Amino acid sequence: MLMIALIGFIVGAAVVALIAKLRSNLKLTWYEWLIGVIGALLLVFSVLLIESALGKPGEPTNVVWWFLLGVSLPGIILLIIAWRLVSRHREPAS
C-alpha cells in the first residue's frame, strides 16, 4: 500500500513539473504525449509487479526477473525517446 502511495506521489510530482514546463511555451505533439504516457505506464507496471513478487513468501522465480526486464526496459527506452523528442524543440536550428 505504501508503494502505491509513493508511486502516486512521484507521478503527481512529474505531472506538476510537466505542466510547469508546458507553461514556458514548450509545445508537445500528440505522439510525444503518447510515447511518454505508454513508457510511464510500463515503468509503473513493472515497479508494481516486482513489489508484489517480492512481497510473497519464498524467493521470486527467474521468470519474474525476465518479465521485469521485458516490461521495464521498453518503458525506459520509450521515456528516453520521448525526452529526446521534446528536448529537440529547444535546440537551436543550425
Cα angle 93-78-1, degrees, rounded to a multiple of 5: 135
Taking residue 3's Cβ as centre, other Cβ atoms within 10 Å add up to 14
Cα 68 from Cα 88, distance rounded (Å)? 30
pLDDT tens per residue across span 8-21: 888 888 878 877 77
Domain definitions of the chain by residue range = 2-87
Residue 86 has φ and ψ, to the nearest 5°, of -75, -40
pLDDT tens per residue across span 36-80: 889 988 988 888 887 777 777 776 677 778 888 888 899 999 999
The per-residue pLDDT for 63 is 78
pTM tops 0.75: no
Judge whether 46 and 68 are in contact, CB under 8 Å: yes
Place of cell 513489489: 51
